[in-house]
Each structure stands twice: as structure tokens, then as C-alpha cells.
Amino acid sequence: MHLPETKLNNAPFLRKATTKSWYTFRQDYEQYAAREADPIVAFDLIETQVLEVLKIRIPELEGFLEYANETPDEEPADTSELNEAFITMVDELMQPLDEVDALDRFKDLSCGSEGNLIYNMAAYALAYKRQVRNCCKVRPTEKLIVDAFVAGIRYGRLKERVNAKKAKTLDETIAEAFIQATEAEKARREHQRVERESATSATMTKAKEKSETACEYCQRKGCRLKSFTVNRSGVKVVKTGRSSL
């Protein structure tokens, strides 16, 4: 199919038949399709050699593409359905080997403890849900998915609070995780604010003590008597009436 160059410039292109390349292409394609009123179908954005590899690994793909290429361009609804069917076929090809392999992929994801906990949780939840989608036909049980999600939270106190809620589904767990991440971030910022104020106060106190000189009469820093000290014939006299030779 001949495609306008202007449309191709805005579209992603799959150049490798690897799992990582496919997932990146799929994500980029879905973002592209959301922007375009009439997006190019995914199977027209794949390098010829890559498409040949996919045909070998997915026997029914060749017949599917022959049927798809016979579909008139003026039927966008059918084209959309064919596009979704193609993505599903490749997703199933790239899925984990089994449930154990799927759980291993979840272990590669984590919610970091450094930086903003709310942003960290958002990135973690998004990546986790994408990985759930990638499981296709070998998706582990909901309990295992939830347990793996909680295990991936690196901030100890946040993990404990999310786990304590005992949510049954992944969606419920993610919703609770955002609530707890927000509260944890508030508490951490308040603690940091108090520490900053305490450190500033301590610094100012040290600076003040360092700038003050000792009283000539009592040798205490900050004593007001020193400002009333005068010299009379070699005798030190202070306002208190006391004197020293």
C-alpha cells in the first residue's frame, strides 16, 4: 500500500522483531493513533523483513494480511477492527512463556523511594498495568498480581500501609496505593520542613555566639555589663559598683 510521506513522518515504525521493540512500537503507535483522525494501520508500519519473521512465527498472519489488504479504504470501522486483531496476535506472540515467567517480569518493576512518592507511584502503576496487559493468556491469578505489586514498593512504610489495607483486586490496590503515597509524601515533606527550620535555627544560634565577645568583668558572652565598663586611673569600674584591681 502506498502511503503519503507526510503521514509516515508522524507514525512510528517497527524495525526489529524483538519483544522490547514491539512493546515500544505498540505504545508509540497508540499515542500516534490517538492524535490522528485517520491513522495508518499498525501492520503497514512494519519493516518488510520484520513482517516476514512475524509471518513465520504466526502462521495465520499471512492469510490475515491478505484479507486485510482486500478491505476497501473507505471502511474505517472494519480497518480498526483488523488493526486491533493484528496487535492482539503479536501481543500473544510476545507474551511471557508461562505464569512464572510473567511474575518474573513483574519483579523487574519497582516504585522507588527517592524523589516524589506520588510521581513514583504513578509511573509504577502505569508500567505495572502495561505488564499485566502483556501477560495475555498467561496472566497469573489476581492475588499473585496484587502481591507482586505491593512487593515492588521500595519505601518501607508505604509498603506496610498499602499491604495493611488487604485490597482484593489490582485496581483497588493501586487506588489505595495512591492515597497512601499522598499521605506519605505529605508526612515526609513536613518532616523535611521541620528539619530545615531546626538546622537554620541552630546555624543562626552558632553564628550569634561566635560574633559575641566575652565581658571584661565576668568573662561571659552576651553580658550587658561590658558596655558600662570604663577606665579610671588604671582601675576598672563597672556600673554595679564593684571593681577589680
Does a structural domain hold residue 117?
A: yes
pLDDT in tens, 67-112: 888 755 555 456 788 899 999 999 999 999 999 999 999 999 999 9
pLDDT in tens, 29-54: 999 999 988 889 999 999 999 999 99
> In whole angstroms, what is the distance from residue 126 CA to residue 116 CA?
16
Q: Which of 45, 148, 135 is nearest to 88 (CA)?
A: 135
In a domain, 103, yes or no: yes
Evaluate if pTM is beyond 0.85: no
Do 86 and 106 have their domain in common? no
Q: Is residue 174 part of a domain?
A: yes
> 104 and 183: one domain?
yes
Number of domains in the chain: 3
Q: pLDDT digit string (tens) for 133-190? A: 999 999 999 999 999 999 999 998 999 999 998 899 999 999 999 999 999 999 888 8
The long-range contacts involving 107-110, CB below 8 angstroms and separated by at least 24 positions, are 107/148, 107/151, 107/152, 109/152, 110/152, 110/153, 110/154
Indicate whether 86 and 121 sit together in one domain: no
At 189-209, the pLDDT tens digits run: 887 788 777 777 666 666 666
Domain identity same for 45 and 115: no
State the DSSP code for 224. Answer: G
Could you tell me what percent of the chain has a pLDDT over 70?
74
- Quote the distance between the C-alpha of residue 75 and its chain's center: 40
Does the structure show a pLDDT above 50 at 243? no
Q: Are residues 53 and 132 in the same domain?
A: no
Residue 198 domain-assigned? no
Q: What is the pLDDT of residue 189?
A: 86
Residues 104 and 188 in one domain: yes
Domain that residue 233 falls in? 220-245
Last residue of some domain: 94, 115, 133? 94
Pair (113, 171) in one structural domain: yes
Confidence grade of residue 217 (pLDDT, cut at 50, 70, 90): low
Whether 52 maps to a domain, the answer reads yes
Task: Please tell me whether residues 106 and 71 are part of one structural domain.
Answer: no
| C-alpha–C-alpha distance, residues 65 and 68, integer Å | 5
Report pLDDT for 194.
Answer: 80
Residues 31 and 84 in one domain: yes
Q: Does residue 85 sit in the same domain as residue 111?
A: no
**Helix extents (H) in the chain:** 5-9, 19-35, 48-57, 61-70, 76-94, 99-107, 117-135, 142-151, 156-164, 170-211
Please tell me whether residues 71 and 133 are part of one structural domain: no
Based on the fold, state whether residues 69 and 9 are members of the same structural domain. Answer: yes
